[in-house]
Amino acid sequence: MMRRHRLFLIAGVLMITAQLTGCGHNGSTGGRTNATPTNVPSPAVTNTPLPTASTGQVTLHVGATIYHTSDTISVTLSNQSTRTIYFPDHLTNCTVILLQHQVNGGWQNSDVCKLMTPTGLHKLEAGKSLTVDLTSPSPAWAVGLYRATLRYGTSQTFGGLATTLYSAEFQIVA
């Protein structure tokens, strides 16, 4: 009887460990570590100039050009292509949208999800739109220049996330 309990305890610990390893690093940097599979994209801070806003059949639009530090930021993903697109969650506010804040000329990820749950893959069918509302973190959004980003693909795998979208830049003011 005692061996059976030990077996269940060991199996339970292994299952919990396996579930938690899918979450990546939960530190204050907001990035993922090498413990995450290499085919899962990790938006990172970059000093390389990137497009101000993506154009094409799949776009990201921010609801306003100026927000206040306690405002909810509204971002709309529009898929006017002929194919379904797929994208991960676990980004800003644990949503599918990643906000980036410009710091010292580079882009830094903002309020990245720290839930200890596996990242999920979501879809948006052709001709559809999705609006995501991002509530301000505690105590508030930092003042500065921001943009919304989304990495997507047309296959149902994390390795197929080949395209990165950018919204137009917007300001957060006091």
Average pLDDT over residues 57-67: 96
Computed over every residue of the chain, the mean pLDDT equals 79
Give the pLDDT confidence score for residue 151 in this predicted structure.
95
Give the pLDDT confidence score for residue 4 in this predicted structure.
53
Give the pLDDT confidence score for residue 107 in this predicted structure.
97
**All domains of the chain, ordered by start, with CATH?**
1-36 (no CATH), 52-173 (2.60.40.2550)
What is the number of other CB atoms lying within 10 angstroms of the CB of residue 47?
Answer: 8
Give the pLDDT confidence score for residue 11 in this predicted structure.
47
Give the pLDDT confidence score for residue 129 in this predicted structure.
98
